[in-house]
Copies of this chain bind each other. A is one copy, B any other.
Amino acid sequence: MKNIHAKFTTILQVRPDDIDMNKHVHSSRYLDYVLAARFDQMERCYKMPMQSFLDIGLSWYIKTSHIEFIRPLKINDHFSVTTNIESFYNKGVKIEFEINRKENNKICSKGFMDCSLIDINSGRSITIPDDIKKLYEI
């Protein structure tokens, strides 16, 4: 049985250097948008900001990113990034995301990331501790 996890949304805006020669957001920027949203949501929604992971010698490593580009974001656009945990692995989480233009709520991009929790000193992935898993099970 698949658990259903909470969806969280962060509002961001396009910056000029994100724009490519077609006057669209360059495809390489969407992953940073998703990460910006997750950093915000780690602090605001899961109540454990990235800094708290770093303070106990842990960090998150992106193993895989998969992004579908559906409609281009453009200059001055504001947009929402909605993410949720799709499933837990032993040593990480699969995070789904969706990016929507704020003006008309049309979907611009969707996809997922597989993220592993790593021990900063060893550089190796570790099993998610129970107390962290509990925070993420909302």
Contact = CB atoms under 8 A, between A and B. Distances in A.
| Interface footprint category on A | 35 or more
Given A29-B28, A31-B31, A35-B17, A64 B75 contact: no
Contacts of A59: 22
Nearest to A62: B27
A89 interface: no
How many copies of this chain? 4
B76 A40 contact: yes
A68 B63 CA distance: 6
Say what secondary structure dominates the interface of chain A: mixed
B69 A67 contact: no
A124 to B, nearest CB: 13
A66 interface: yes
A137 interface: no
22 contacts: A12-B13, A13-B36, A13-B40, A16-B32, A16-B36, A16-B39, A17-B29, A19-B20, A20-B20, A20-B21, A21-B21, A22-B59, A27-B65, A28-B31, A28-B35, A39-B76, A49-B76, A50-B76, A51-B75, A63-B68, A65-B65, A65-B67
